[in-house]
Amino acid sequence: MRTLMEDEPEKYQSHFSEYLKREIDADCMEALYKKVHAAIRADPTTKKSEKEPLKEHKRYNLKKLTYEERKEKLVERLNTFNSAADDEDDE
């Protein structure tokens, strides 16, 4: 971490951006690891984190229609077409 900071500061900024946001530098890392290690030794059981339930994904390809549904759509289209044709005849 220190060598990257000295040699390539731009790469250091991009690579350790999350650490920099939390104000963790190379000097704090050893203390952080000791603190985490002590916490694990004190209570080694794993704790499950609460996760949000997965949301339903949008379906991009439409489900196939059944024969009855296709037939109903055809009847609706024909009715609208016939009503539009009747309106034109009236004018």
Q: What is the pLDDT of residues 9-43, one digit of tens each?
A: 899 889 889 988 988 888 888 888 999 999 999 99
In the structure, what pLDDT confidence band is assigned to residue 81 with cuts at 50, 70 and 90?
very high
Look at residue 79 and tell me if it is in a domain.
yes
- Total domains, the chain: 2
Q: Which residue has the higher pLDDT, 85 or 38?
A: 38
Residue 91 has pLDDT above 70, yes or no: no
Look at residue 52 and tell me if it is in a domain.
no
pTM for this entry: 0.42
Q: How far apart are CA 89 and CA 33, in angstroms?
A: 84
**What is the domain extent for residue 9?**
1-42
Answer yes or no: do 7 and 35 share one domain. yes
In the structure, what pLDDT confidence band is assigned to residue 70 with cuts at 50, 70 and 90?
very high
Residue 76 has pLDDT above 90, yes or no: yes
Answer yes or no: do 38 and 69 share one domain. no
Answer yes or no: do 36 and 71 share one domain. no
Residue with tokens 């309106």: 87
The stretches of the chain forming alpha helices (DSSP H) are 2-7, 9-15, 17-21, 26-42, 67-90
